[in-house]
Amino acid sequence: MSMRTDLAVEITENDVCDGITSKKSTKSDLTITETEITSDEAAQRTGKPKGRYVTLTSAKTLDIHSDLFYERAEVLSNVVTSLTHGAENVLVVGLGNRGITPDSLGVATAEHIFATRHIHSLAPDLLTEDMSKVSVLAPGVMGKTGIETAEAVGAVIKVISPDAVIVIDSLACAELDNLAKTVQLTDTGISPGSGVQNSRAELSENTLGVPTVAIGVPTVVDMQTIAEHIFKRKAQESYRAFSVAPKDIDRIIARSAKLISCGINQALFPSLTPEEIDSLVQ
């Protein structure tokens, strides 16, 4: 049976061959799965680039009102710091289409990132200890801008010369238990739209010239995958034309965006509390 997914943990779950390592741990209510693809052969077989993949999975949806919200954000923050190697000059890029809710995660997240590059140049006396230089970009989609996302991001990189890029995008998954309950972070970058067969130019260190971390939450499952999981047999190819999102996708996007932005902000501004950052962003 086919599997259309952006999640490395789903692709490598039953793969025990050389070139793939995986370990699990728990923190707060999250299951943390750290997967590393280390060989060209494993990368070719799985269709995932060599690199690190960290998956944070909750038994419940990523609710911002949960008592565990800031604990989850701290876990995410620590992973961001690890994958970016503590970079302090960072470009955060929110991918997706604001007009299509399941595809709006990156745009929604970008709205909550604390941008400070202008403060460094225009009002350095306002800076506090450990305040990173952060730029935020939401380049839109090529269908509306006429510009390939990688071209827009590459042009900005030439001007601001960041030490790292963090890209946020909606993902697709194959397991319903991962839908809206999982955050994947990876140092391999991303091919926007690959999970729904609308892949654009890759955003990665290879194409952008700087370390690129991708963060995403699965917001859709394709109908063929759902049918095959239910009936345990190959479904009609035409089912691939349909992608299914949860009925409360608007709330899922808002909650996921808040969690991811909180984790990124904590990683980039460790001397500020989440409450202080919220007051500066809003």
Beta-bridge partners for 56: 32, 183
Q: How far apart are the first and last CA of the chain?
A: 46
Tokens of 207: 């194409």
Q: What local confidence, expressed as pLDDT, does residue 61 receive? A: 76
- State mean pLDDT over 123-131: 79
Highest mean pLDDT among 42-46, 177-181, 216-220: 216-220
State the CB neighbour count (10 A cutoff) for residue 127. Answer: 13
Report whether 203 contacts 150 (CB < 8 A). Answer: yes
Contact present, 55 and 13 (Cβ < 8 Å): no
Residue type, 202: E
**What pLDDT sits at residue 62?**
77
What is the predicted pLDDT for the residue at 143?
Answer: 86
Task: Measure the CA–CA gap between 102 and 122, rounded to whole angstroms.
Answer: 37
Tell me the per-residue pLDDT of 210-266, one tens digit each, with 9 for 90 and over: 999 999 999 999 888 888 878 888 877 777 778 899 999 999 999 999 999 999 999
Quote the percentage of the chain above a pLDDT of 90. 65
At the topology level, CATH places domain 8-281 in Rossmann fold (3.40.50)
How far apart, in whole angstroms, are the C-alpha atoms of residue 125 and residue 219? 42
Residues 6+ apart with CB under 8 A from 35: 8, 9, 12, 20, 21, 22, 52, 53, 54, 55
pLDDT for 121 equals 86
pLDDT digits (tens, 9 = 90+) for 82-126: 999 999 999 999 999 999 999 999 999 999 999 999 988 888 887
Strands 212-222, 243-244: parallel, antiparallel or unpaired by DSSP? Answer: antiparallel
What whole-number distance in Å separates Cα of residue 117 and Cα of residue 131? 10
Domain boundaries, the chain: 8-281
Q: What is the DSSP letter of 17?
A: S
What's the mean pLDDT when you consider all of the chain? 90
The DSSP-derived string for 79-140 is HHHHHHTT-SEEEEEE-S-TTSGGG-HHHHHHTTS---HHHHHH-GGG--TT--EEEEE---
